Structure 1
Amino acid sequence: MIRLIGILTGLFFALMAVWGFGTGLATVISDGQLKEATAEHEFHLHPRDAELASDGAFGKWDLAQLQRGMQVYKEVCAACHGLKFVAFRDLTALGYSEAEVKAIAAGFQVPGIDPNTGEANTRPGLPTDYFPSPYPNSVAAAAANNNAIPPDLSLMTKARHDGGNYVYSLLTGYRNVDTFSIDGKKVKEEFPEFSTPPNTHFNPYFANLNIAMAAPLTTEGQVTYAEGQPKATVDQMSRDVAAFLTWTAEPKKVKRTQVGWPVMGFLLFATILAWMAKNQVWAAIKPKKKPA
């Protein structure tokens, strides 16, 4: 009787799983997700490999690149995007001295309070402060950017699939919609109804192909790197700021990887040791033979 109940219970759950799959498939079809291809589906590109030093199982931070990326953020990206989860003092991990961190912090205006009147004001940043938003609130941000609120970049590379590569590809991916093609197929020829609305810009690395942000990096030398550093091409600046934003999103990434390998080695050794101990303990005990 118990076996019969078990079989019926298993059959019930199997039927429920099949029913759920069928319902989901019907919903997808009814929502039109399986209808004819769209421009977004056909011409959306996967991110290109930025070849960051922090990538891979043996990745490490390239401090010189992170500092260049910090410079690009400060001189270009900070005009529209904040880093609300990153404190200025965290920059010491990139090789900056305490004096340099103080100078960087002082270059930003952060919210403060007048000690005499108690009124809200702004003041130069301190190492203990966090990177401020360039706008006082979301309404002001939308008003200054055609109703498109620039996102905070602290966790951007964690919020997007293949984040570092995504940022790099997006910054270098702006194209002319009228001439852009893949395998000889042009967007306008394949989908004549597709258009780039006013105040948007065509970028095949963006999900719906049209992004509100204009290309922020457009010319070589837009940021002046220190002597001895690579030439500040659009590609190099994009790669550097992608590396920096990878660090802001996951500053312990390399440390975690470095600690992970010894831990994996220890667990492997402990597993082998436990298996050998088990064989040693039970070696003298022979299994009983079943009667014929």
Structure 2
Amino acid sequence: EEHNAAAPTHFPINEPKEMSWSFAGPFGTYDKAQLQRGLKVYKEVCSACHSMNLVAFRTLEGLGYSEAQIKTLAAGYTIHDGPNDAGDMFDRPGKPSDHFPAPFPNEQAAASANGGAAPPDMSLLAKARGVERGFPRFIFDIFTQYAQGGPDYIHSLLTGYDQTPPAGMVIPEGTHYNPYFLSGVSLKMPKPLSDGQVTYDDGAPQTVDQYARDVSAFLMFAAEPHLEDRKKTGFRVMIFLLLFGALVY
């Protein structure tokens, strides 16, 4: 049966591009400079619409920031708190123990401001999003410890806006074609990134591709800040089991 490109039967239309990540594999580690750039992209672009309700400021120690730097960063946010002794809610500067404040007071307000679709919270996005790789690749993934499906998907989505839809494809009004979108031919979110949009001070390229790489890596850290410790523990356990097995044998 001939495939009709204008009427796809599976999503995403294009498989996410498999990227090279510093944190990939059993010995992978986070690139702290990349994570700091990714945080900058989140703060200056993504945070206008997307919350990170589960991420506390103190978690950013894993990006290489000092306690003083985290206090300064947190204090730059306004936290709606309370009630106080008089029963009133009040605003105060953020503290390291606070979580990133949401850009909207509730989901209904978020949906109203974004064409009827509330932007998803980004706290666990890098673990919650990903495309099933199917047989036999998921078998190989067990041995290679491939766990970068989320960052691969986010990067592809963020860099996939400039493609032209196939002739005859109907794009719903108010949506934007993206062949990497997991749930259809288009999505409400317009292209969020453009070259030169975020200024880096470490000499990294200021391109859409680099921004997408950096924020994808940061979102992986946000979803799994203890990844490096987990891998170290797993390695120690494997060594112990090998030695124990050798002794028993």
Structure-2-length-normalised TM-score: 0.85
Question: 1:88·1:101 contact (CA, 8 Å) conserved in 2?
Answer: yes
Distance 1:125 1:40, change over 3 A: farther
Distance (Å, rounded) in 1 between the aligned partners of 2:214 and 2:229: 20
Superposed counterparts of 1:231-270, under 5 Å? 231-270=205-244
Question: 2:11·2:180 contact (CA, 8 Å) conserved in 1?
Answer: no
Question: 1:156·1:245 contact (CA, 8 Å) conserved in 2?
Answer: yes
Q: List structure 1 runs of 4+ shifted beyond 4 angstroms.
A: none
Distance (Å, rounded) in 1 between the aligned partners of 2:65 and 2:222: 15
Select the structure with the greater relative contact order (CA < 8 A; seq sep ≥ 6).
2
Question: How many Å apart are 1:42 and its aligned residue?
Answer: 7.8
Q: Which residue identity is paired with 2:186?
A: N
Superposed counterparts of 1:141-220, under 5 Å? 141-161=110-130, 162-178=149-165, 187-188=166-167, 192=168, 194-207=169-182, 208-218=184-194, 220=195
Deviations along 1:130-163, whole A, 9 cap, x unmatched?
0111000011111100110000000001101210
Aligned residues: 228
Gaps of 5+ in 2: 131-148
Gaps of 5+ in 1: 1-35, 179-186, 276-292
Larger helix proportion of the pair: 1
Question: How many Å apart are 1:215 and its aligned residue?
Answer: 1.1
Question: How many Å apart are 1:269 and its aligned residue?
Answer: 1.7
Question: 1:60·1:254 contact (CA, 8 Å) conserved in 2?
Answer: yes
Superposed counterparts of 1:19-98, under 5 Å? 38-41=7-10, 44-98=13-67
Q: Which residue identity is paired with 2:164?
A: V
Question: 1:171·1:217 contact (CA, 8 Å) conserved in 2?
Answer: yes
Structure-1-length-normalised TM-score: 0.73
Question: 2:12·2:181 contact (CA, 8 Å) conserved in 1?
Answer: no
Give SS of 1:39's match: coil
Distance (Å, rounded) in 2 between the aligned partners of 1:263 and 1:93: 23
**Other-structure match for 1:125:** 94
RMSD: 2.1
Q: Which residue identity is paired with 2:181?
A: F
Deviations along 1:35-85, whole A, 9 cap, x unmatched?
x87414287111112312111122011001000101110111110011111
- Indicate which of 108, 118, 121 corresponds to 2:77: 108
